Structure 1
Amino acid sequence: MSLETSQHTSGQERSDDRTTTVRQVASEPPGGARAWLVWGIAAVVYFLAMFHRNGMSAAALHAQERFDVGPALLSALPTVQLVIYVLFQIPAGLLADRLGPRRSLVISLGVMAAGTVLFAVAPDVRTAVAGRLLIGAGDSLVFLNVIRTGALWFPRRHYSLVSALTGLVGGLGQLSSAVPLSALLNGVGWEVSFLGAGAVSLLTGALVLLLVRDRPDGRPAPSHALPSVRESIVEALSHRGPRVGMAAHAVIMVPFTVLGILWGYPLLEEGYGLSARTAGLLLTGAMALPMALVPFLGRIPGRHPSARRPLVLALAWTVTLSWLGVVAWPGGLPPLAVTAAVIVVSAFATVMAPSLSFDYARDGLPEQRTGTASGLVNMSGFTSVMLGVVSAGVLLDLTGADASFQLAFVPMVLLCLAASVTITVLLRRPRR
């Protein structure tokens, strides 16, 4: 499919679209083996970020015992991390446009390593919270710069595939925080497990310095005369694509991320009585099939932009209605097989979220100013995740011995429902 067709379908709103498109074709990055190497190293950083971000799920019960806290205080550990992550998304987007991926990723790895070391040796919950805060600050720079690497090194038609593969790498990082981290915690203990993770982050930073570059040789550096923060946000929100991307990210990736960050293990262990090993295998297995399909499905938005609309609507409503069924199941939690199927559906949606949400985020924007739009999309999704994690912890704490995971997930379902309705309205509205 030609780039002209792709851009026209994705809603470019300029009368000189044809002239602009020809100019963009001539200036597109070449891609190739060097591009895959640079992106691959950046993706390793995202793998580590996802390991750090989701480690609290496998470590939740260990942390509860180590720091002697209840569900509400336990949820504070990943919550402060998410709060910082969300608040930093706009600054992270601007830095992605200004500093470039190489420097941003090195900074992020250093900050995450410091936070992980502090978390490893924390003697109390306050120090642990400070460690998670640093992890969230470092994590906030990672994804947008991996996506930025894709925009700077690959042609536009490959962007959705690169975004999907980025999501795949993130899924692998999330898996590594399930069974492997659980095994490490049980085998070598809390401090050794997390100190080792911090050391790996520092070594990866050295690899980024050695091999990652911001753009292919001969490609011009971006102009320093970039819009202000306000102008960048207004520019992004003036296009329908970034707004659709924000709503899509606020539903498609949310439920499985809520489970991965904190509540997956407690749901399966306490709600269904599974062992930690079985719970980890279920969460790991849920990601296996969707991750295997990513290299094929991730190509669809880039090659067939008209397929984005039915894909995003189908995923949003399937995830929303599936979880609505879980929380509304009469007489308590559904049978394990039903919940397991919903978890698999949610994992599939999470893996597909980047290729759709961030492909929409680029609609109408030049490549050198996509960072802010991507930051808004990421902020939207993780605001919903943060609210889902916190509300579940508060409701579980309030219900005490009669803790109900169905009640705990109601706020998350309502957020997904609101986002799905928003997507439907935006995609039915005629283009201006």
Structure 2
Amino acid sequence: MNSASPAEPQGGARAWLVWGVAVGGYFLAMLHRNGLGVAALEAQSRFDVGPALLSLLPMLQLLVYVILQVPAGLLADRLGPRYTLVMGMAAMAIGSCMFALAPGIEVAVVGRFLIGLGDALVFLNVIRLAALWFPRARYALVSGLTGVVGGTGQVASAAPLAWALGGIGWVAAFLATAGLTVLMALLMLVVVRDRPTGAAGHSTVADPISAWAALKEALRADGPRIGMAHHAAVMAPFTMMMVLWGYPFLVNGLGLSESVAALTLTGLAAGALPLAPLAGVLVGRRPGVRAYFALVFGATLSLGWLLLVLWPDGAPVPLGVAVLALSALGQTMAPTISFDFARDGIPAGRTGVASGLVNMSGFTTAVVCTVAAGAILQALPEDPTSYQVAFVPMAVTTVLSTCVLAVFIRRRVRT
């Protein structure tokens, strides 16, 4: 039965409009998050810093994002999506202005901190609006589409910003990005509402509980725990590659030319995007397929990463590209499956904490493995096989997360 019960939101054109404006903010958040990549060389010259110190900027931003996931979920459950999204947009706009006008690295660091803070408030509230505006059967589809928009922002962030930096300069480019963010915040104030008119319980929370009680509620429920394990297993690998190590691995580890490596990484990221909505439709109609899909894909990805790090004398190009392709698909599909699991057993008005825990699990894994890979590469002599050793932490965490996922799913089936 696909029809929504009377207590459920009905969706419709108004729901898609609210979500569309909110997910536009997520697109901008991805632009802010990934924009430093194409500006790295100019930033190094502008702030007169070396590559080691410069690399701390994206890692600091991502670390802030990870640390604030649960607090952001609590804030979303207390304040509601509309005003929390506006706060996130404001923080990113201020951070972008500071980064544009920064006279030195110190102010630039503060600017990237504010961008990470604002970024942390966006995604959770977009999918929380999906929980409040759409029927349960549509949640996986809307979560998947949210991931597609974010992935599109990730893929598209490089070219427009590179053009702007070359055409109008550093200050104007980042101030223009800040201006777009302010306009999006104003549009959110006008269009976005926390709940449909006439929805049961006009407050932004369902039976408000303390922060500690909300955490216990999320951690005791099977759905969020399964979502956390799934997100760590399938979302983290390609995130690590896109944040830092994908391009160096393709060039120095597999021997591809720089142009081919860049095209390969972009093509893999873009090529996986259309599959998320299809999976969302399937999960919405047949929720039982989530467990089978999660286990099969987690096991396949684990096998791929084990082969990548254990292949004698360096992984061949077809294997390396295939593992990256599987990882790109995992990152794209993660919102569809992981956050749909997170909703199980949690009231729609308190999904912020559960979603924050799920998001935190994947990004924490990505950050830890990214830093570990850098430390290993720093310690080893430069060699194509060095990347195999450097990627052992990611292979291990993928396998362990998949095993935990299997335990949680089996326990849920037995109970």
Do these two structures clear the TM 0.5 threshold for a shared fold by scoring above it?
A: yes
Aligned to 1:369: 350
Is this contact kept in 2: 1:76–1:390, CA < 8 A? no
Provide the rounded CA distance (Å) in 1 between the counterparts of 2:194 and 2:255: 49
Aligned to 1:310: 292
Question: 1:84-109: per-residue Cα shift (whole Å, max 9, x none)?
Answer: 11221111111211211111111101
Provide the rounded CA distance (Å) in 2 between the counterparts of 1:319 and 1:184: 38
Q: Is 61-70 or 26-35 further displaced after alignment? A: 61-70
Question: Pairwise mapping of residues 166-181 of structure 1 onto structure 2 (< 5 A)?
Answer: 166-181=146-161
Provide the rounded CA distance (Å) in 2 between the counterparts of 1:183 and 1:405: 32
Is this contact kept in 2: 1:120–1:191, CA < 8 A? yes
Q: Is 284-293 or 185-194 further displaced after alignment? A: 185-194
Question: Pairwise mapping of residues 325-404 of structure 1 onto structure 2 (< 5 A)?
Answer: 325-335=307-317, 337-399=318-380, 401=382, 404=386
Provide the rounded CA distance (Å) in 2 between the counterparts of 1:276 and 1:113: 33
Q: 5+ unaligned residues in a row in structure 2: which ranges? A: none
Aligned to 1:288: 270
Question: 1:264-314: per-residue Cα shift (whole Å, max 9, x none)?
Answer: 333334545656554332222113332222222211222111100111112
- Residues 29/89 of structure 1: CA separation in 2 closer, same or farther (3 Å cut): same
Q: Is 104-113 or 79-88 further displaced after alignment? A: 79-88
**1:415 maps to 2:397:** yes
Provide the rounded CA distance (Å) in 2 between the counterparts of 1:421 and 1:402: 32
Question: Pairwise mapping of residues 190-205 of structure 1 onto structure 2 (< 5 A)?
Answer: 190-205=170-185
Tell me the secondary structure at the aligned position of residue 202 of structure 2: coil
- Residues 408/193 of structure 1: CA separation in 2 closer, same or farther (3 Å cut): farther
- Residues 251/176 of structure 1: CA separation in 2 closer, same or farther (3 Å cut): same
Question: 1:101-154: per-residue Cα shift (whole Å, max 9, x none)?
Answer: 111111101111222232334444443332221111101111110001101110
Question: Pairwise mapping of residues 274-285 of structure 1 onto structure 2 (< 5 A)?
Answer: 277-285=259-267
- Residues 415/184 of structure 1: CA separation in 2 closer, same or farther (3 Å cut): farther
Matched AA of 2:394: M
The match for 1:145 among 125, 136, 146 is: 125
Question: Pairwise mapping of residues 10-409 of structure 1 onto structure 2 (< 5 A)?
Answer: 25-60=5-40, 62-63=42-43, 72-185=52-165, 189-219=169-199, 220-222=201-203, 225-272=207-254, 277-335=259-317, 337-399=318-380, 401=382, 404-409=386-391
Aligned to 1:16: none
Is this contact kept in 2: 1:116–1:194, CA < 8 A? yes
Matched AA of 1:138: G
Question: 1:323-355: per-residue Cα shift (whole Å, max 9, x none)?
Answer: 2222223223532x4322222211111111011
Q: Is 410-419 or 58-67 further displaced after alignment? A: 58-67
Is this contact kept in 1: 2:155–2:270, CA < 8 A? no
- Residues 188/406 of structure 1: CA separation in 2 closer, same or farther (3 Å cut): farther
Provide the rounded CA distance (Å) in 2 between the counterparts of 1:406 and 1:67: 34
Displacement of 1:321 in angstroms is 2.2
Provide the rounded CA distance (Å) in 2 between the counterparts of 1:355 and 1:133: 28
Is this contact kept in 2: 1:72–1:393, CA < 8 A? no
Displacement of 1:382 in angstroms is 1.0
Provide the rounded CA distance (Å) in 2 between the counterparts of 1:331 and 1:283: 23
- How many aligned residue pairs are there? 411
Displacement of 1:40 in angstroms is 0.6
Provide the rounded CA distance (Å) in 2 between the counterparts of 1:181 and 1:388: 28
Question: 1:222-273: per-residue Cα shift (whole Å, max 9, x none)?
Answer: 3575111110011111111110000111121111111222333333345456
- Residues 27/129 of structure 1: CA separation in 2 closer, same or farther (3 Å cut): same
Q: Is 398-407 or 229-238 further displaced after alignment? A: 398-407
Is this contact kept in 2: 1:72–1:394, CA < 8 A? no
- RMSD over equivalenced CA pairs, Å: 2.4
Q: TM-score, normalised by structure 1?
A: 0.87
Q: Is 182-191 or 254-263 further displaced after alignment? A: 182-191
Is this contact kept in 2: 1:51–1:174, CA < 8 A? yes
Q: Is 348-357 or 192-201 further displaced after alignment? A: 192-201
Displacement of 1:163 in angstroms is 0.4
Matched AA of 2:407: V
Provide the rounded CA distance (Å) in 1 between the counterparts of 2:42 and 2:242: 16
Q: 5+ unaligned residues in a row in structure 1: which ranges? A: 4-23
Is this contact kept in 2: 1:112–1:134, CA < 8 A? yes
